[in-house]
Chain A
Amino acid sequence: MTFSPQLEERFAKMLQAYPEGKKRSAVVPMLIYAQDETGAVTPELIEEVAKRCEVTPLQVDEVVGYYSMLHRKPQGKFHVQVCTSISCMLVGGTELYDQACKKLGVGHKQTTADGVFSLEEVECMGACSWAPCVEVNYDYHHNVSPEKFDALIDGLRKAQ
Chain B
Amino acid sequence: MAKVLYNEPSPLETLVISRNFRKEGSETLDGYLANDGYKAFLKAKEMTPEAIIEEVKTSALRGRGGAGFPTGLKWSFVPRTSPKPKYIVINADESEPGTCKDRLLMEYDPHQLIEGIIIAGLAMDAHKGYLYIRGEYRFIIEHMNRAIEEAYKRGYLGKNICGTGFDFDLYTHSGAGAYECGEETALLDSLEGKRGIPRMKPPFPAVAGAWACPTLLNNVETFATIPAIIRDGGAAYAALGVPKSGGTRLLCISGHVNKPGVYEVPLGYPMMKAINDIAGGMRGGRKLKAVVPGGSSCPILRADECDVPMDYDSIAKIGSMMGSGGMVVLDETTDMVKFALRIMRFYAHESCGWCIPCREGTTWLRKILQRFDDGGGRKDDVRVLGEVSKNMLGRTFCALGDAAAMPTISIVEKFSEDFDKRLAMQGSGLVTING
Contact = CB atoms under 8 A, between A and B. Distances in A.
Interface stretch (B26-34, B168-176, B198-206, B303-311): B168-176
Interface stretch (A67-75, A110-118, A147-155): A67-75
Given A63-B194, A86-B339, A128 B136 contact: no
B137 A124 contact: no
Given A126-B137, A128-B99, A69 B177 contact: yes
A66 B95 contact: no
Contact of B176 (A28, A59, A127, A139): A28
B94 interface: yes
Contacts, number: 149
A91 B255 contact: yes
Given A63-B195, A69-B136, A125-B136, 4 more contacts: A17-B130, A68-B177, A87-B326, A89-B338
B115 interface: no
A36 to B, nearest CB: 9
Contact of B94 (A17, A26, A87, A126): A126
A67 B178 CA distance: 6
A90 B136 contact: no
Contacts of A69: 135-136, 176-177
Interface stretch (B71-79, B117-125, B264-272, B341-349): B341-349
Contacts of B175: 28, 67
A108 to B, nearest CB: 12
Contact of B192 (A22, A29, A62): A22
Interface residues of B, number: 59
B100 interface: yes
B218 interface: no
A140 B190 CA distance: 25
Contacts of B328: 86-87, 90, 128
Interface residues of A, number: 43
Contacts of A90: 254-256, 328, 330, 334
Minimum-distance CB pairs A-B, first 7: A69-B177, A68-B177, A67-B176, A27-B193, A24-B193, A87-B254, A138-B138
A86 B190 contact: no
Interface in A32-65: 32-33, 53, 55, 59, 62-63
Nearest to A25: B193
Interface in B345-366: 346, 349-350, 352
B134 interface: yes
A123 interface: yes
Contacts of B7: 129-130
Nearest to B350: A123
A142 interface: yes
Contact of A123 (B85, B94, B211, B346): B346
A129 B6 CA distance: 9
A127 B135 contact: no
Nearest to A86: B97
Counting chain B CB atoms within 10 Å of each CB, the highest count among A59, A69, A91, A123 belongs to A123
B274 interface: no
Interface in A82-102: 84-87, 89-91
A67 B193 CA distance: 11
Interface in B73-113: 85, 94-100, 102-103
